[in-house]
Chains A and B, each alone.
Chain A
């Protein structure tokens, strides 16, 4: 379950990157989505509404501050992404300023899948989760299907890999980039909202602690493939929950050291994954036009 926020965000970023938009401000969007979602949850006492609000907040945030400058005005994607992140830090704090340490008094109930959750051991562990978790688990499959088997998915990939070719056959690069970038914002916001409303249950300025950045790493490590992304995200979720689990089980290692595992794991994973691809024979399946400027 701790992998779910990262899964949402990473998937959103995957969609954006497949269309050639690199967004390094994911952490900022998650923060804004988290803050917005939490505030709305506190105010309306409805967690579902809060989740939706967080997603929409992320969407708007991204749309105004990133999609428009980057896709329409051709600003440098990396710099704008950083700006987005900093703005997210500030904006989220201001949004959530009255709600730190305030309990939301509402939670998303666990959904017990009808038959599967009755299974003796596996049932409780695997099939009794809040509904967003199921959504998150099925999204990569849906994304994989759309991206690789449908016409719209082909358009997206064309825009990311060979924008000139795509434009030449009538696929509007700009339109697809806007669409995918907006979806990045939506999912990242949703991931952040899930984090604050469901998983952590509280808002504090640093609640994401790097999850947005890990999502970026997840996208790269999964070689831009939705299904692999799902596995990777959950792997990170496992690593991230090590410190909590370790504390509870009384392991002899201090919690800080355990807490380092997701980050070290990310580095190790990147390293391992890139090792065979060093030098000339790189077979990154990154979209070829990632981050490139599109003049039409």
Chain B
């Protein structure tokens, strides 16, 4: 860039006067300066900013809830102290972890799969279709078949956006998102139309249930009741995480995420890897739908997802690319959700969970920014050329 750092004010015609160096106004008193990026500091800031909104939220819930002083304690007891509570919690956590992982897969290559929700429904749709088509298949054969089918369903649903992104460059954020809405409508159609439940009371968008031998139940380690879905989810996430960390494919994805052009120069097939990453992402999200179908809802319904896909985006971003982080944060978010469901008894509105997650995202973003930059008071300079700031800019391109 040929930006001359010299302050030749009169040159460009009188219109744009050279601004005086020591400008007034609050916006100009401070400036941001890059800081040396230290990994440890990043995590520290991230951790603090992650936890702070949670603390604030808990305090706020305590204040808002109707049971004075005891709301938090009671809610925690209900959620984690009872066998049923823990079971529900694990059921809640399974699809969240999976959608979080799906988004994390995409994020590894800097691809935003916003359509995890739609793929979830598509996966459940595929599994339901197969389940209806094979009503007498025995359980231990049917369940894995259905899970695989749901992953395939997710792949099918992301296929078009993935192709568009890989080969034409259409923003996957927009395409996957649009497909979400199409999926919602298709779900409504199928659940109230061809797959309608003849016994359903009017108003519920729910198909007739799938056969009982396909239902996932719980395992009981040591007296607690844990949904098998959670086991599946964790296994899947661990598997995918290891695969991406250790494989050439995952490495390629990371390079592409950093700089697609560099990857192309290095001879990588950017298009194919982009396609594959997105397909993997879709598969995991579809699996979330399958797990939700088999372990929780047991029929094709719009309640398969309560914006699970979108919360998964939050999880994926918060986890910062680490799959271990996805599991942990998924668990935390599921805990928040479970708590907020219990807290509804005390009058806390249910949508407040979005506030909490949004606040956490925002705080994390700010924390990252705080870790990367520092606010420096701009010294009132006396007309010196601003080349100092430019040469030390992040991209390192000296321009004097």
A274 with B314: CB separation less than 8 A: no
Stretch at the interface among B71-79, B134-142, B361-369: B361-369
**In the assembled complex, B182 has its CB within 8 A of some CB on chain A:** yes
B369 with A86: CB separation less than 8 A: no
A82 with B171: CB separation less than 8 A: no
Q: Which residues of A contact B (CB under 8 A)?
A: 24, 65, 69, 72-76, 78-80, 82-91, 93-94, 97, 151, 162, 164-165, 168-172, 174-175, 178, 205, 209-210, 213-214, 216-217, 220, 254, 256-257, 259-260, 263-264, 266-267, 270-271, 274-275, 277-278, 282, 293, 295-296
B314 with A86: CB separation less than 8 A: yes
Bound CA span A288–B31, Å: 23
A73 with B185: CB separation less than 8 A: no
With known contacts A78-B112, A87-B358, A263–B171 Cβ distance under 8 A:
no
**In the assembled complex, B188 has its CB within 8 A of some CB on chain A:** yes
**Can you list, as one digit per residue, whether each of B300-331 has a CB less than 8 Å from chain A (1) or not (0)?**
00000001001001100100000000000000
The 4 closest A-B CB pairs, nearest first, are A86-B358, A90-B355, A87-B358, A90-B354
B178 with A90: CB separation less than 8 A: no
How far apart are A245's CB and chain B's nearest CB, in angstroms? Answer: 16
Closest to B163 in A: A271
Taking CB atoms and an 8 Å cut-off, the chain B residues in 272-322 that contact chain A are 307, 310, 313-314, 317
Interface centre among B365, B369, B373 (most CB of A within 10 A): B365
Residues of A within 8 A of B377 (CB): none
**Can you list, as one digit per residue, whether each of B11-29 has a CB less than 8 Å from chain A (1) or not (0)?**
0100111110001000110
With known contacts A263-B181, A266-B174, A86–B310 Cβ distance under 8 A:
yes
B164 with A75: CB separation less than 8 A: no
**Can you list, as one digit per residue, whether each of B177-204 has a CB less than 8 Å from chain A (1) or not (0)?**
1111110011011000100000000000
Bound CA span A74–B375, Å: 11
A270 with B171: CB separation less than 8 A: yes
A94 with B168: CB separation less than 8 A: no
A73 with B357: CB separation less than 8 A: no
8 A-B pairs besides A76-B369, A94-B355, A295-B393 with CB distance below 8 A are A72-B27, A89-B354, A90-B353, A174-B27, A175-B27, A210-B178, A254-B189, A295-B33
**In the assembled complex, B370 has its CB within 8 A of some CB on chain A:** yes
B373 with A90: CB separation less than 8 A: no
Closest to B394 in A: A295
A94 with B351: CB separation less than 8 A: yes
- Count of residues in B whose CB is under 8 Å from the partner chain: 69
**Cβ contact of B34, chosen from A171, A256, A295, cutoff 8 A:** A295
With known contacts A24-B173, A69-B365, A278-B167, A165–B3 Cβ distance under 8 A:
yes
Taking CB atoms and an 8 Å cut-off, the chain B residues in 361-400 that contact chain A are 361-362, 364-366, 368-370, 372-373, 389-390, 393-394
Residues of B within 8 A of A267 (CB): 160-161, 164, 170, 174-175, 178-179
Residues of B within 8 A of A89 (CB): 307, 351, 354, 358
Closest to B30 in A: A72
A256 with B351: CB separation less than 8 A: no
**Cβ contact of B168, chosen from A24, A164, A205, A275, cutoff 8 A:** A275
B17 with A170: CB separation less than 8 A: yes
A83 with B27: CB separation less than 8 A: no
**In the assembled complex, B148 has its CB within 8 A of some CB on chain A:** no
Residues of B within 8 A of A271 (CB): 164, 168, 170
Bound CA span A184–B342, Å: 37
How far apart are A169's CB and chain B's nearest CB, in angstroms? Answer: 4
With known contacts A97-B349, A275-B168, A264–B178 Cβ distance under 8 A:
yes
A172 with B174: CB separation less than 8 A: no
Closest to A25 in B: B358
How far apart are A80's CB and chain B's nearest CB, in angstroms? Answer: 5
